[in-house]
Chain A
Amino acid sequence: MEAGSSRSAFARSVIDNAVPTVSTFPWLPLLDGLSEQPLSRRREVLRRIVQQVMESERTGGTLDDAAFLALALEVFRYQAHANTAYGTWVQRRGVDPRRAEALSDILPVPARAFKDLRMLADGSPVEATFRTSGTTGGAERRGIHFVRDLDLYRMSILTTASNTLLSEPGYNRNSIRVLSLTPGPGVAPDSSLVHMFHIWIDAWDDRGGGFFGGTSWEPKTGELRAAIGRAVGEGLPVLLVGTAFSFVRWLDALPSGHPELPPGSIVVETGGFKGRSRVVPRGELYRALSATTGVSVARIVNEYGMTELLSQFYEPVLSGEAPEDPDRRWHVGPSWVRTRILDPETLDAVDPGEPGLLCHVDLANLDSAVAVLTEDVGFQPHELAAARPTSRAFRLLGRGQGAEPRGCSLVMEELLGVAGPAADR
């Protein structure tokens, strides 16, 4: 049923949408009979296709629903075969990957499983490990994403971020200063968030920016002020990035008369309070940030990501697609991701407009879990369902750990003390 509705929506999107789609790309025939090939060959072909999809998206291409489905199913078949634990689970759940024909046939891996298992093809090499945030006591288990392919991760990060953040005409990608309120990879080597900022700095920064967070993630206010001052002097726009709590702590620590950011600057906020600062409603935080930095609220962008996913979602406010009002914004990911919204009890897809759990199907997770079930709650507003190809955009209602479960016996994590940096990465 899902595939059918996707296709008709796809047909509409092709008619309504002048953007070239990737379905005409020559790789679709490569999928024929691919599942009969040796695992290494399957991985290699899928890897090349995903890379091509990302490269195409850089230049304005998008992966349409039908092509996405074909590719996602092939990745699912590959993972069910290459990862014995996952394949066994799929089989025990009565799913035959060879017969899978809709996104709903892909058994999503609960994000929590990253705490217990190596979500990776058997015997696969690992280039990096990223951990979800934990409590300072460190007693509880943290999720680990074993990343096999940092190049693919980098391509995913840069493609989406540059399309979202640096796509305004006249933006010179090498003339921007990236100032991060987080510590750098030396201090936080297992934070996927810091890794992402590091890649931004490496790719875009003109070597004047960097990390301005201390070992306990406290903003180095004085150094940051000097860096902003230099950017102002040189007239370079700044990309100021950090978690919600780092911005709150930064604002709380600032003396009055702080220099505003140069024209063209952008603020990227990645969510997450989790006991590291007081909790501030988003609208309030953005107004305060805007008042301090001189960056308009419409240029303050929320990025939503998680350690378990190698793709990210942004609010398309810079392009004017999403409204400025923080409470009415929505997120969208790259075209190699589809987000399903599921009934929390049955895991069936809900109707558009109904809230449910976000389940991300992310082709960048080629080596780990192509479908990840989160505890985050969101919905697809009716107006987005009409305007966007299916399952791309959603409005976030709450992140799993932020939602307060009911009952006086719950919230053990709360009892265990102060939690780590961003929402769950």
Chain B
Amino acid sequence: MTASDQPSARISIGDLRGSPARRRRELTVRILFLAAASLSIVISLLIIVSLAGQAWTFISQVDLALIVERGWFPRRDLYSIQTIVAGTLTVATIGMLVAAPLGLGAAIYLSEYASSRVRRTIKPILEILAGIPSVVLGYFALQVISPTIVDPICPGATEGFNMAAAGIGVGILITPLIASVAEDAMYAVPGSLREASYGLGARKRTTSLKIVFPAAISGIVAALILGFSRGIGETMVVSIAAGATGGSLFTVNPCEPGQTMTAAMTALATGSDQVRGATLAFPSLFFVGLVLFVFTLVLNLVADRFVRSVRIRY
């Protein structure tokens, strides 16, 4: 170009920037989006502040000797955290005993054996199972699972309320989650690994179990951790099917009614409007919530690590 011959026609930085109105609009939009993205930071800070504030009130006012008491009866000011933690772990473990084989079996089948047509049919059905509200599964656990499955194993289970039924209900709820995360991990294992295995004369079963499964192990571990975390945080199934709404003695016997952290919270909230009263019931709600939040946060962070290590490798 010969534009440099005429200095007056030289393009300045200002010309390249476009119209000021356009730039202003650009900046406004950018700030709006940034604000929307930053909102998640605000939300997580609010969660931590609101939980920690009331939890501190609880810790500073409660008689700490009562926390190690063997029973959770907030109406009588007995706040034994270990009771509801034990209940939570019992229910979540039963849930995992149900969900881990079902979910992993479904995942191996869908990823390694199923034709793409079967995959396309089954995966939406699993999504529907994942979308069943937990309140529905809770009622199913109480009305159906408890009498048909749990009763023959635990004769005389009290009025249908027991931790085993709740645990099985939780297991059904987390099966699709485990199946979907584990299947994603195994499906992401490159075909060349399978081909190399077949090339050495390995069977499909050997390839699935000895090559694909170990290669996807971090994703599978992540699936199990996420499932456990979900089981710990599951509320409605336990609130409906595990009983012990008034409180519970320390127990890990699945045939007995029990109280989990989540169920203890709904019991406090529905018992009456006392939750807002002057007793420690209201702050205790937040203390339990904080314990639950820390449990699941740690599990989720660990699972996140595992998931990302799969993504980096393949």
Pairing of A with B? no
